[in-house]
Amino acid sequence: MLSTSVARHYNRLARQYDRRWRVYVRQTLEHTLGALRLSGKERLLDVGCGTGEFERMAIERFPEVTIVGIDATPAMIELAQAKLAGCPGVTFHVGWADTLPFGAEAFDAVVCTNTLHHLHAPKQALREWVRVLRPRGQLIVVDWCRDFWHCRLMHYWLRAVDRTYATMPRLAELQAMAEELGLAVEGTSRFIAEPLYGMLCVTARKAMRPPT
């Protein structure tokens, strides 16, 4: 579950967010976009969409894709709606990452960038993302990674001082979680985002429904 303290924190931070984290956000979202495999007219869900920066970047690369962004922070959603006001194929919703207000198999792709570390029950959230993903749909998760020694230090420090922080998986842990939920992991990688955030990227695909 994403705590209400996270929503309150980012409500206060919303108007500074793009300026304050500009380089980090661009670098991490470029990894997410680089992993996406779309033909051009799919329906995509962005979990933890923030101020809509992923949508702004994605619509330039995939102008015919329908994109739905969801975030628990109303102030972030307001900024995202203003930023993408001229894009009819992009919509935004206020909602929680682990209780999505969408039907089963509603999306061809689901992405989540920089939100997993706020979730106290990441497996529950992943299960929900798989639920809304169509067979053969793609899931991409980009987030902090505890495989880096300095991120292990950051993990313990944040647990002591930051109420908005929840978890930081190792790459192998997230991969195992995805496979346990029936996803076929197609790619994994680690990278550094400025100033010194150790990151992971996991790309996976949902299995086809068995024939009836």
Contact 136, 206 (CB under 8 A): yes
Please identify which residue in the block is written with the tokens 């993408």.
84
pLDDT tens, residue by residue, 172-197: 999 999 999 999 999 999 999 999 99
Residues 203 and 142: their CA atoms lie apart, in Å, by 9
% of the chain exceeding 70 in pLDDT = 97
Residues 205 and 109: their CA atoms lie apart, in Å, by 9
One-letter amino acid at 199 equals M
- Judged against a pLDDT cut of 50, whether residue 42 lies above it is answered with yes
Contact 117, 168 (CB under 8 A): yes
User: If we measure between CA atoms, which residue out of 129, 88, 136, 89 comes closest to residue 112?
Assistant: 129
pLDDT (0 to 100) of residue 3:
59
Q: Model-level pTM?
A: 0.95
**162-165-171-172 Cα dihedral, nearest 10 degrees:** 110
Q: What is the CATH number of domain 4-206?
A: 3.40.50.150
pLDDT tens, residue by residue, 54-103: 999 999 999 999 999 999 999 999 999 999 999 999 999 999 999 999 99
Positive or negative: CA dihedral 205, 54, 152, 147: positive
